């Protein structure tokens, strides 16, 4: 190494020493220990969901398992302050309103679903709702009317909302995709990836206390998991400052009425968080 390079390297090492980072630069053994501690931390079994991508962080609210609790806590060299990820920040536009988001969406042709839709179904309800319901996508009636949950499943959702002592206009209702998939098929991954950023912006604008996902598509999209909804239905998750819970879709309840009692249990949990009493008959 020539002397000029040596001087620069020595200056960097001195700088690291001054910051207390000397071993980080010079001792490979301590660097290996740091990596293995981080690996233990990442593999701790307290969170069982598939890891959510940084763009959609969601964490299950659950006690740490006894096995995990008995493990010595890994010491991380540099604690990271909690805060939104870089990706999350990109998706958020400060102070944007639902009208701004609708205007940005425009007569959207961003994915193939635009070819067969009749009307875009953006969302409906209270722009400052404490409770947001998120469904999968518009069906036939919704596509015709441009409003979410207006068919038979929608009527059942309205009954569910009223049983919680709320009116439909008190809450906000929207879907993962805003155009009807042909023949009511499930939205494809790329369609969800294209459309769901608008949903995330809607949720950021509303800032609800509770997000209730209706059905597997909404729940799996929001939690970035491929697990079946029955594995985590009725559990609470943190989602960007809101509490998130998943329950069965009203369309499923029309086909399987006995599941209504499970959904009612989930809605009672939501009511407890929102301080609501069941509607008196
Ligand atoms: Fe645009 Fe969403 Fe409709 Fe696709 S589903 S065309 S992204 S509004």
Ligand 1: centre distance to CA 257 (Å) = 32
**pLDDT category of residue 7 using cuts at 50, 70 and 90:** low
Flag whether pLDDT at 89 surpasses 50.
no
Between strands 172-175 and 210-214, the pairing is unpaired
Q: Which two tokens stand for residue 234?
A: 């009725």
Which residues have CB under 8 Å from 37's CB, separation 6+? 74, 75, 76
Q: What CATH architecture is 89-274? A: 3-Layer(aba) Sandwich (3.40)
Any atom of ligand 1 within 6 Å of the Cβ of 108: yes
CA of 198 to the centre of ligand 1 (A): 9
Mean pLDDT of the residues in the chain: 80
Helix, strand, or coil (residue 209): coil
For the cut 60, the answer to whether the pLDDT of residue 31 exceeds it is no
In this predicted structure, which of 30-39, 100-109, 200-209, 249-258 has the lowest mean pLDDT?
30-39
Q: Which CA distances in Å does 223 have to 229, 237, 241?
A: 11, 9, 14
Q: What is the pLDDT of residues 38-47, one digit of tens each?
A: 332 333 333 3
Tell me the torsion sign for CA atoms 218, 222, 225, 227: negative
Q: How far is CA 248 from CA 126, 155, 219, in A?
A: 23, 15, 10
Q: Does the beta carbon of 49 lie inside 6 Å of ligand 1?
A: no
Residue 1: per-residue pLDDT: 63
**pLDDT band with cut points at 50, 70 and 90 for residue 133:** very high
DSSP H helices, the chain, are: 3-18, 22-26, 28-43, 66-70, 86-91, 98-105, 140-145, 152-163, 189-206, 216-223, 250-255, 260-274
Structural domain boundaries in the chain: 1-43, 89-274
Closest atom of ligand 1 relative to the 111 alpha carbon: 4
> Distance from the CA of 99 to the center of ligand 1, in angstroms?
17
Task: For 129-184, give the DSSP string.
Answer: -SEEEEES---HHHHHHT-SS-SHHHHHHHHHHHHTT--GGGSEEEESSSSPPGGG
Q: Cβ distance 269 to 171 under 8 Å?
A: no
149 Rama class: left (phi>0) / alpha (psi -120 to 50) / beta: left
Determine the Cα–Cα distance for residues 237 and 257; give it in Å rounded to an integer: 26
């Amino acid at each position: 190494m020539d002397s000029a390079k040596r001087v620069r390297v020595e200056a960097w090492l001195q700088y690291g020493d001054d910051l207390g980072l000397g071993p980080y630069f010079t001792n490979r053994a301590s660097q290996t220990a740091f990596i293995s501690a981080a690996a233990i931390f990442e593999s701790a079994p307290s969170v069982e969901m598939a890891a959510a991508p940084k763009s959609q962080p969601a964490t299950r609210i659950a006690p740490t398992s006894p096995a995990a609790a008995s493990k010595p806590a890994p010491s991380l060299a540099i604690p990271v302050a909690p805060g939104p990820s870089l990706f999350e920040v990109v998706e958020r536009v400060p102070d944007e309103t639902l009208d701004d988001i609708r205007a940005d969406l425009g007569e959207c042709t961003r994915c193939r679903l635009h070819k067969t839709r009749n009307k875009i179904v953006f969302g409906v309800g209270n722009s400052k709702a404490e409770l947001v319901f998120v469904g999968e996508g518009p069906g036939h009636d919704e596509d015709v009317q441009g409003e979410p949950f207006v068919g038979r499943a929608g009527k059942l959702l309205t009954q569910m909302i009223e049983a919680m002592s709320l009116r439909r206009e008190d809450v906000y209702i929207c879907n993962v995709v805003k155009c009807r998939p042909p023949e009511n098929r499930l939205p494809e991954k790329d369609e969800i990836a294209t459309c769901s950023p608008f949903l995330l912006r809607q949720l950021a604008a509303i800032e609800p206390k509770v997000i209730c996902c209706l059905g597997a598509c909404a729940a799996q999209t929001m939690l970035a998991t491929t697990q079946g909804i029955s594995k985590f239905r009725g559990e609470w998750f943190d989602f960007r400052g809101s509490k998130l819970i998943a329950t069965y879709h009203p369309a499923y309840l029309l086909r399987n009425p006995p599941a209504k009692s499970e959904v009612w249990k989930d809605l009672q949990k939501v009511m407890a968080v929102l301080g609501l009493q069941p509607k008196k008959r």
